Amino acid sequence: LMDGKTVIAIAHRLSTIARLDRLIVLDEGRIVEAGSHAALLALGGHYSGLWRHQSGGFLAAHELGAGTTAIDYEAELAQ
């Protein structure tokens, strides 16, 4: 649906945007981080902290499928 298109998505639920090519993290109106989901997690900054806080080790079953951990999801995204 989004192939070949530029999409601007604004989300508070990070799992909604984790598969996008490029994420831009804003803090108080300023860009503080930018990159892919995997790159931002590796950076260990603001996005990474929010991801850990939101996932709590698990994401909602309706988003990923029952029993899928955030670690499994991160590995899938890195491929």
Mean pLDDT by runs of 10 across the 79 residues of the chain is 84 89 94 95 91 72 48 59
The answer to whether the beta carbons of residues 11 and 24 sit under 8 Å apart is no
Say what the alpha-carbon torsion angle 22, 35, 16, 10 is, to the nearest 10 degrees.
-70
Helix (H, G, I), strand (E, B) or coil at 8: coil
E strands present in the chain: 23-27, 30-35
E strands present in 7-47: 23-27, 30-35
pTM of the model: 0.65
Q: How far apart are CA 31 and CA 66, in angstroms?
A: 34
pLDDT of residue 61: 44
